[in-house]
Amino acid sequence: MKEQLGGGKRHSSTRRKFLEFLGTATGLLLTSCGHGFVKPINETEDPLIIELTDQEKQLLSFVSTLPKDHALRSQFIENPVATLVQHGIVPQDSQLNISKANRLLFYLVGNTELSERLGAIVHRYSALSQIRDVMTNDRLDVRFLREVEKDLASPDSLWKRVIEDQVYVLVSDPKVREILELKIEDSQIREYASRLAAAISGSLSKDGVRPTVVLALANVFVVANVNWKVNANIHYNANVNLNVNVNANTGGNSIGSRSSMVAEWIQFVDLFTRHAQEFTRHAQEQPGP
Amino acid sequence: MNTVRPWKPGPSCLTILPTFRCTAACKNCCFGSHPWVPGRIPQEDILRYIREAARFESLSLVVFSGGECFLLGDDLVEAVALATRLGLATRCVTNGYWASSEKAALHRLIELRDAGLTELNLSTGDHHAQFVPIENILHGARAAAQLGIRVAIMVELQAERRVTKQVLLEHPLAQRLFDEHDLDPNETIVESPWVAMEDGEVPYDTNCLINADNVHLRSGCDSILSTIVVTPQKELFACCGITAEKIPEVKLGLLDQANMHDLYEAACNDFIKIWLAVDGPEKIVAWAAQKDPSIEWENRFAHQCDICRFMYQSPQIKRVIREHYQEVVGDVLLRFALLRS
């Protein structure tokens, strides 16, 4: 007979009621003595709360309108700070910093055509359909990462091919090149994308780029794209996407109610931007032919 | 001239913890739940909170957790029915104590299904299984699937454990579950780190530890400002984090003394909560450690909520954040707007 895990016992109704009564009485006694709870902390001498200034609230309100206003979004992508100054959100002498990654993020998230092209890559590699959602938050699967790491080391690596396809789609978009300040001619795109993809895949080893970070990029590329498709089908369907970030102690949260698609794009642009810039810097440091 | 309408945020999920009483008494339970914890939120208040929360246009889901929410009996059915009538999806989080057989599980779930229950979320693992056999979990899951209720099983993750996802998958009841129903095992059974309420109490699986090599894989907190939680003390929390009880900053106030909407709106003006939603505590801590290398954070935490508690409790991190947050404020607010648009 299979061993039963756990020690659940059944009691008769009367006995259960008696035990419940006894339990409650004991509980009241123990609780009155301070036993039982994780001690709550209700006050702190130095709370970490930073109230938004009026200007920051204005900024938040303004950028919230961007996804719905195509013209304004385009203007913002061209020159974020100038757009904010023009609309009176920040003063002329503002020190506000908007990163390249954020410009790229705004460009990618609203760009259906580019997203479709990236998503289509996933369909060319059936093996990728198995890895959806394995890389986010609490489900960080390092064993899986190591399998990918092994794959990337092989000459016929599936992941290298995927990364190259994806980098090519991105780099061949003129606006992506402009945002990242990649100064390359159209005729050089294929070669550049190939070299950047190789750099990302770890073929070009470089101090400061850790193999696992390279690996992370590979995965985020794919996960972001797979989720783009998955969420299109599931996330908008009654908001009951059985997603991730599980709270095992309370079992409190299995349905992902966040905009997971945008969250994955955030990871995606951060890593892609960083690698593209590092690769460009690395290329500039090399002596010419 | 700026004519932008003020940004109006809203949560997508209301979690009600009606009681901290539970049929199990797991060591390291985040709320210290056990069978002898007295008290619960009165039913009329539960119903009122659901109605109040439903006034947030963004709200789509009501979760009943605890403690053990099935101890509410018929009150749980009534609360689920109200949320359903208000057009909201519902989820019950339970240890499955009531699913001692297939028949018992069906009996208990039919009335919840009829009330509109959308999802059943069953918790198990080495700690839970000391009190509730894993067979209960699988009976509950099969009954839910049979009744058309979505089901998820959460398994505690820590080093050297007996109850794993694989153990569940190999169980004959699980094999029947997946043979009979069109469910993806990887989506249905999910493992998640069990968090120590005190340092060193839980031996973490080293594969899950957060460090500079993998912090880039972490994303923002999808609970903060997205989920609001009502505790048995009728206190409103800004997230459903496991360690929330130990973070005063996420405790927004008592619902007997203030309006749910006012408390939430005030919380949305806190840049730190916005930053947590965008980048998550892992990246904030890693960023702070770049400014102050004396901050020791690598390979100490597995769960996002665990490192969040660390962030809020570390004087060094708090100092760095206060001194340097202006460097990131523009980028963070932009991303938050995208996440919530």
Asked if B213's CB is within 8 angstroms of A212's CB, the reply is yes
Asked if B340's CB is within 8 angstroms of A259's CB, the reply is yes
Per-residue exposure over B67-101, b if at least 16 CB sit within 10 Å of its own CB, e if not: bbbbbbeebbbebbbbbbeeebbbbbbbbbbbbbe
DSSP of chain A: -PPPPS------HHHHHHHHHHHHHHHHHHHHTT-SSPPP----SS----BPPHHHHHHHHHHHHGGG-HHHHHHHHH-HHHHHHHTTSS-TT------HHHHHHHHHHT-HHHHHHHHHHHHH-GGGGGGTTTTSGGG--HHHHHHHHHHHTSTT-HHHHHHHHHHHHHHTSHHHHHHTT----GGGHHHHHHHHHHHHHTSS--TT--HHHHHHHHHHHHHHHHHHHHHHHHTTSTT--B-S---TTTT---B--S-HHHHHHHHHHHHHHHHHHHHHHHHHHSPP-
Sign of CA dihedral A73, A74, A75, A81: positive
H-helix or E-strand spanning residue B64: strand B61-64
3-state secondary structure of B335: helix
Q: Chain A contacts of B222, Cβ < 8 Å?
A: 137, 245, 256-258, 260, 263
Distances (CA, A) of B177 to B113, B151, B206: 18, 11, 31
Chain B residue with Cα closest to A235: B60
| Predicted model pTM | 0.78
Asked if B305's CB is within 8 angstroms of A247's CB, the reply is yes
Interface predicted TM-score (ipTM):
0.85
Q: What is the pLDDT of residues A6-29, one digit of tens each?
A: 444 555 667 766 666 666 665 555
What DSSP state is assigned to residue B151?
A: E
Asked if A52's CB is within 8 angstroms of B271's CB, the reply is yes
- Spatial distance between the Cα atoms of B209 and B300, rounded to a whole number of angstroms: 7
Distances (CA, A) of B170 to B77, B178, B192, B225: 33, 11, 19, 38
Partner A contacted by B247 (CB < 8 A): yes
Q: Which residues, 6 or more positions from B263, have their beta carbon under 8 angstroms from its beta carbon?
A: B236, B252, B253, B255
Partner B contacted by A258 (CB < 8 A): yes
Q: Which residues, 6 or more positions from A133, have their beta carbon under 8 angstroms from its beta carbon?
A: A139, A223, A227, A230, A243, A244, B187
What does the pLDDT read at residue A41? Answer: 59
List every span in chain B annotated with CATH 3.20.20.70: 13-267
What does the pLDDT read at residue A122? Answer: 64
Asked if B327's CB is within 8 angstroms of A97's CB, the reply is yes
Residue among B100, B192, B329 whose CB faces A247 most closely: B192
Asked if A20's CB is within 8 angstroms of B4's CB, the reply is no
Round the CA-based radius of gyration of chain B to a whole number and report it.
Answer: 20
Chain A residues 38-77 with a CB less than 8 Å from chain B: 38, 40-44, 46-52, 56-68
What DSSP state is assigned to residue B217?
A: G
Domain ranges of chain A: 54-97, 99-285
Residue among A37, A89, A249 whose CB faces B242 most closely: A249
Asked if A252's CB is within 8 angstroms of B155's CB, the reply is no
Between B99 and A122, the higher pLDDT residue = B99
Give the best residue of A12, A240, A249 to mutate against chain B (max B CB count within 10 A).
A249
Q: Considering only CA atoms, which of A230, A131, A247 is closest in space to residue B237?
A: A247
Asked if A4's CB is within 8 angstroms of B135's CB, the reply is yes
Residue among A10, A61, A67 whose CB faces B7 most closely: A61
What does the pLDDT read at residue B76? Answer: 98
Q: Considering only CA atoms, which of B204, B210, B227, B222 is closest in space to residue B158?
A: B204
Paired with B154 in beta bridges are B123, B190
- Spatial distance between the Cα atoms of A233 and B267, rounded to a whole number of angstroms: 32
What does the pLDDT read at residue A215? Answer: 47
* Residue B22 exposed, middle or buried by CB count within 10 Å (0-12, 13-18, 19+): buried
What does the pLDDT read at residue A255? Answer: 30
**Contact of B302 with B277, CB cutoff 8 Å:** no
Q: What percent of chain A has pLDDT over 90?
A: 9
Q: Chain B contacts of A5, Cβ < 8 Å?
A: 129, 133-134, 162-163, 167
**In the predicted structure, residue A109 carries a pLDDT above the cut 80:** no
Q: What angle do CA B166, B169, B173 make, to 5 degrees?
A: 145
- Spatial distance between the Cα atoms of B55 and B291, rounded to a whole number of angstroms: 42
pLDDT tens string, chain B, 341 residues long: the values are: 445 566 677 999 999 999 999 999 988 787 888 999 988 999 999 999 999 999 999 999 999 998 899 999 999 999 999 999 999 999 999 999 999 999 999 999 999 999 999 999 999 999 899 999 999 999 999 999 999 999 999 888 877 789 988 999 999 999 999 999 988 887 788 887 777 666 555 666 666 788 887 787 677 888 899 999 999 999 999 998 778 888 999 999 999 999 999 999 999 999 999 999 999 999 999 999 999 999 999 988 888 888 999 999 999 999 999 999 999 999 999 889 888 77
Q: Considering only CA atoms, which of B213, B244, B217 is closest in space to residue B228?
A: B244
What does the pLDDT read at residue A193? Answer: 86
Average pLDDT value for residue range A231-257 = 29
The letter for the amino acid at A278 is E
**In the predicted structure, residue A205 carries a pLDDT above the cut 70:** no
H-helix or E-strand spanning residue B137: helix B134-146
Between A256 and A172, the higher pLDDT residue = A172
3-state secondary structure of B96: coil
**Contact of B250 with B237, CB cutoff 8 Å:** yes
Q: Chain A contacts of B156, Cβ < 8 Å?
A: 248-249
Asked if B321's CB is within 8 angstroms of A51's CB, the reply is no
What does the pLDDT read at residue A242? Answer: 26
Q: Considering only CA atoms, which of B119, B22, B134 is closest in space to residue B68?
A: B22
Paired with A255 in beta bridges are A242
Q: What percent of chain A has pLDDT over 70?
A: 49
Q: Chain B contacts of A95, Cβ < 8 Å?
A: 326
Residue A252 Cα, gap to closest chain B Cα (Å): 6
Chain B residue with Cα closest to A256: B222
**In the predicted structure, residue A254 carries a pLDDT above the cut 60:** no
**Contact of A249 with B194, CB cutoff 8 Å:** yes
**What architecture (CATH level 2) is domain B13-267?**
Alpha-Beta Barrel (3.20)
**In the predicted structure, residue A216 carries a pLDDT above the cut 90:** no
Q: What is the pLDDT of residues B160-198, one digit of tens each?
A: 789 988 999 999 999 999 999 988 887 788 887 777 666
Q: Considering only CA atoms, which of A270, A97, A181 is closest in space to residue B331?
A: A97
- Spatial distance between the Cα atoms of B311 and B288, rounded to a whole number of angstroms: 9
What does the pLDDT read at residue B207? Answer: 66
Asked if B34's CB is within 8 angstroms of A249's CB, the reply is no
The token pair that represents A56 in the structure block: 């920051």
Q: Chain A contacts of B247, Cβ < 8 Å?
A: 41
What does the pLDDT read at residue A24? Answer: 61
Q: What is the pLDDT of residues A37-90, one digit of tens each?
A: 455 555 667 899 999 999 999 999 898 888 778 888 889 999 999 999 999 998
Residue B53 Cα, gap to closest chain A Cα (Å): 15
Partner A contacted by B164 (CB < 8 A): no
Chain B residues 171-230 with a CB less than 8 Å from chain A: 172, 187-188, 190-195, 197, 207-208, 212-214, 216-220, 222-223, 226-227
Distances (CA, A) of A33 to A258, B30, B233: 41, 20, 18
- Spatial distance between the Cα atoms of B280 and B304, rounded to a whole number of angstroms: 8
